[in-house]
A and B are shown apart, each in its own frame.
Chain A
Amino acid sequence: MVPASPPIAAQSTGRGAGARRRRLKGVARRLGARIVAALVMIWAVATLTFFLVHALPGNPVQVQYETLISHGVPPAQALKETRIIYGFVSHEPVVSQYGSYLWQLIHLNLGKSISYSGVSVSHLVLSAAPWTVILVLSGVLVSFLLGVLAGAVAAVRRTSKLGDLLSVSGSLLHGIPQFVMAVLLAYVFTTLLPVFPFGAPYNITVTPGWNLGYIGSLVTHAVLPVFAYALSSYGGWMLSMKSSVVSVLGDDFVLAAELRGLKPLTQLRYVARNALLPLFTVLALSIGFMFGGSIFIEDVFDYPGLGHLLLASISARDYPLMSGTFLLITVAVILSNLLADLLYTLIDPRVRGQAS
């Protein structure tokens, strides 16, 4: 006797559920492997930066003392102020310092700053991070949107004067180093024509909170640093997008779409989606690199982000603060890379197909 077959619908549902389970298992396995790899990478980078940072010549106490002397502080006062930080410099061998650094790291403790006399590095890094995020995230988004838009137009209208103009603007701005752009904007718009303020994230006389004065102050103080970042990054996005669109325009599906009489707007949507894919990974990585801040821009505008903190910690030879800041930047890049990999699977059907 032949056993009764399950209904076709049930069979297919069972197969579908199994396939989904297998697919989910595959994704989980891949995700697990990536997370392990990311953790190993973080350990490797933490180790490398720890030893690199400690290999830098210099002594935090001496640097602090001599810096005060160079600012005209009398020796007695400089000595008084320097003595405070001496107690925060570790005098143990580097290897045992490394051991305690790793142990603290496992407990999510980045140690205590030398130049800030024992203030926790996590507190300092987390205080600076939001300013960098505001500055660079705005800069990345503005430059990405402008660059992608201009790149698409430059590719589609590449034989026109507008196309030429956009390409030249991209090449020109891409060639200006970030710090030159920052110095130029700062000099023109804060000194020659003092239209925008600089030197602080907002006007200190305004009470912070959800009020128009504070928000306006935040925006006006961020305009120049954000634009310095956006203008110096715009060229890269614009040129990449143009090249990507030109390449996609030569694909067979575009010809097929034309032959099938699809509307130009629909065609542009197809082209843009395909051309944007290579830029997506770069965007994700840029957001990761965001935590590295834009050291030169933060320095020129005295904007208090992570780049600023990193520079100050290097000058002061504040080893725990240097290690902590480097680590945060590294972790951000590794995590954004991981995230980009995962999201790529979601947004690109071809990759999704290969994965499953």
Chain B
Amino acid sequence: MHTSLWKKALALGAVAPMLLAACSSGGKAASASNGGIFTTVNEAHPITAGAPMNPFNASGNTFDSYDQLELGYSAFSPTNPNASFPALAASWSLGANGSLTVHLQPKARWSNGAPVTARDVKDSVAIAFTQGTQPSNLASVTILGQKEIRFNTIPGTTNQLFTAEVLATTVVPASVYGKELPSNIWSTITASTYTGSNPARAAAARKAQATLTALGKKIAAFAPAKDVSAGPFVLVRLNPGEALLTANPYFWARSKIAPKEVVMRNYTGNQQIWNYLIAGQLDAAPYTAMPTNVLDEILRTAGNKELKSPAYVAASLAFDEKDYPYGLTAVRQAIAYVLNRKQITKVGESVSGQPVRYQTGIIDSIAPKWLSHQELASLNPYSLDPAKAAALLKSAHFTKRGGQWYLPSGKPWTMSIESVSGFSDWIAAGKFMASELSSFGIPTTESIAPDYATYLANLAKGDYPVAFWLTALGPSVADAYDRIWGPNDGFVAVGNTVQHHTAGNWMNTPTSYDLPSIGRVQPGTLTGELTALTGSAAKAAVAKLAAADNAELPVIGLWDYVNVQFVNDKHFTDWPVGKPGLLNDPAGVWMMQGYVHAK
């Protein structure tokens, strides 16, 4: 009797979760089998419980390229930052006066059936002004027709990135957001852009800017009652862990969009994405740092495969040159000769890292597009060579006794490499570098900051002589050099000039170098000017900056990150393999470009 009761209880216990699971799965299994649901993760924007469905909110629950659309999406071209894929803009053309005319998709409609018009774009640009995210030299916009709009620049200004900045405009429906804007919004915007010396107009500009700031806060916190999307999907509902989007029946290229629904999953750490991938639950997943054993496990799951493309970011070792002896070029070069970048990458970022080869300040894969074969060949590769490192240190009057290096003053030289808790690749690489440097005779320890916020604050305060730093950002080379000789080195672009400040300067590099090969270079100024240069002038500037970076090593590039994404072939196929620019965009753009089909 008792045994029977126990058996029944056990059986019930075993069956209950299955019954509940069966109840809870709803229709998912059936529709997933025909490729209906596309499950993915938005790495840059987790789902945030309580945040509004508003793209202007920093944590807003809208999903770029799915239910939130821009005029166009960057093609991530290393040589043409304006190259973009069309989205709400079907085409665009630059005018002789620098203006840009945009033609909207003729069949573009919002998910409520209303057409997407130039008025929607104009209101969206007005909102961008309230958020400070408008194209940098935009003066006004002119509606030329229901589907045609012109973006006018401030007379006398140039901006090589104007097209890219205009096309990056997020477009929202005027029927939802327009009522948040006062009727005099454009006169306020015009007043706010005044930069002349007339005291009355300057005061009016300050007042207008304050008005726009206050309006911007109001709009950022605005919570629309429902999602009205011009994208391929519309947000149906979300909980703090998942969002459900359904196909927008009015999307202009509906036939290109295979999934009937998209489930966007939240994540708070890499481990969760690994678990989803190992369980085969994601159709597409963004780049996630992972060790080799996890990669192997992910690739063992049926259908999973990896897609690789260049990532415009590198991990580097940065120096605060005001801290002795790191202001000495010979010291930085000696450290570069001691570090085995191949091994460091293997230890730190074996899955999605490629050891830096050229030391140019830009990622290796785009270096040949900017530098000639001859220029590349003339660069110092800083291959592993402890003897060269020793010679350099001796030339700088350092001495080695009893296996340890001493500063010219006679004090023993010790080093600390700063890293951050949670950045497992940096921590592992830091530990390895510490052991390499210690073996060479510079006793080195790794110090780990408790979190990224603390790390960044201490770095900015100048507390770290040697620390990890992300460099070679892109695709624009101006952004890559701005990371070295930009605000972190005290150089700030103000209008068309570059100023040097002590505030925010923690790298403390010299303002100019005298290089034997190319003469005097002012890297901060040249970096500031690079934004306005094109063609051969831009190439010449990049050649100088690359040479300066290679000779002076303000940072030592360790590895270039590789954008390793995962897709699963179970329900969908036709991924943009071999399209590096497109792979850097979210999967909604892939679909708009005709990729991703149901199996």
Partner of A315, one of B131, B239, B453: B453
The answer to whether B74 and A57 have CB atoms under 8 Å apart is: no
Given known A-B contacts A116-B50, A201-B241, A191 and B561 have beta carbons under 8 A apart: no
Complex interface: chain A residues within 8 A of B279 (CB): 190-191, 194
- Within 428-459 of B, Cβ neighbours of A (below 8 Å) are at 451-454, 456-458
Does B327 sit at the interface, judged by CB under 8 A?
no
Does A220 sit at the interface, judged by CB under 8 A?
yes
Chain A binder among B161-169, B370-378, B506-514: B161-169
The answer to whether B24 and A220 have CB atoms under 8 Å apart is: yes
B contacts with A, residue count (CB < 8 A): 85
Partner of B221, one of A56, A68, A118, A223: A118
Within the complex, the shortest CB–CB distance from A276 to chain B, in Å, comes to: 26
Measured as residues with beta carbon below 8 angstroms from the partner, the interface class of chain A is 35 or more
Does B72 sit at the interface, judged by CB under 8 A?
no
Q: How far is the CA of A198 from the CA of B561 in the complex (A)?
A: 30
The answer to whether A117 and B563 have CB atoms under 8 Å apart is: no
Chain B residue, CB-CB nearest to A124: B50
Q: How far is the CA of A131 from the CA of B311 in the complex (A)?
A: 37
Partner of A199, one of B25, B56, B272, B453: B272
Given known A-B contacts A87-B213, A206-B24, A75 and B479 have beta carbons under 8 A apart: yes
- Within 328-382 of B, Cβ neighbours of A (below 8 Å) are at none
Within the complex, the shortest CB–CB distance from B45 to chain A, in Å, comes to: 9
Q: How far is the CA of A315 from the CA of B49 in the complex (A)?
A: 16
Complex interface: chain B residues within 8 A of A82 (CB): 58
Complex interface: chain A residues within 8 A of B168 (CB): 76-77, 80
Binary CB contact string for chain B from 450 to 472 against chain A (1 if under 8 A, 0 otherwise): 01111011101000000000100
Does A11 sit at the interface, judged by CB under 8 A?
no
The answer to whether B52 and A119 have CB atoms under 8 Å apart is: yes
Partner of A58, one of B313, B454, B474, B561: B454
Within the complex, the shortest CB–CB distance from A338 to chain B, in Å, comes to: 29
Given known A-B contacts A58-B453, A87-B213, A117-B220, A124 and B20 have beta carbons under 8 A apart: no
Within the complex, the shortest CB–CB distance from A312 to chain B, in Å, comes to: 8
Within the complex, the shortest CB–CB distance from A135 to chain B, in Å, comes to: 12
Does A84 sit at the interface, judged by CB under 8 A?
yes
The answer to whether B23 and A69 have CB atoms under 8 Å apart is: no
- Within 314-334 of A, Cβ neighbours of B (below 8 Å) are at 314-317
Within the complex, the shortest CB–CB distance from B58 to chain A, in Å, comes to: 4
Complex interface: chain A residues within 8 A of B287 (CB): 72
- Within 286-338 of A, Cβ neighbours of B (below 8 Å) are at 299-300, 302-304, 308-309, 311-312, 314-317
The answer to whether A191 and B221 have CB atoms under 8 Å apart is: no
Does B550 sit at the interface, judged by CB under 8 A?
no
Complex interface: chain A residues within 8 A of B483 (CB): 75
The answer to whether A187 and B453 have CB atoms under 8 Å apart is: no
The answer to whether A205 and B221 have CB atoms under 8 Å apart is: no
The answer to whether A205 and B267 have CB atoms under 8 Å apart is: no
Binary CB contact string for chain B from 276 to 303 against chain A (1 if under 8 A, 0 otherwise): 1011000000110000000000000000
Partner of A56, one of B267, B275, B453: B453
The answer to whether A128 and B74 have CB atoms under 8 Å apart is: no
Chain A residue, CB-CB nearest to B238: A204
The answer to whether B276 and A74 have CB atoms under 8 Å apart is: no
Q: How far is the CA of A315 from the CA of B74 in the complex (A)?
A: 29
Partner of B265, one of A75, A199, A317: A199
Q: How far is the CA of A208 from the CA of B287 in the complex (A)?
A: 32
27 contacts between A and B (CB under 8 A): A58-B451, A72-B44, A72-B312, A74-B76, A74-B474, A75-B473, A76-B161, A76-B165, A80-B168, A83-B131, A84-B57, A84-B133, A117-B56, A119-B51, A119-B52, A119-B59, A119-B221, A128-B50, A187-B275, A197-B24, A199-B241, A200-B242, A201-B241, A205-B244, A217-B25, A302-B268, A308-B240
Measured CB to CB, the residues of A under 8 A from B are: 56-59, 62-64, 66-77, 80-88, 112, 115-119, 123-124, 127-128, 131, 183, 186-187, 190-191, 194-206, 208, 212-221, 223, 299-300, 302-304, 308-309, 311-312, 314-317
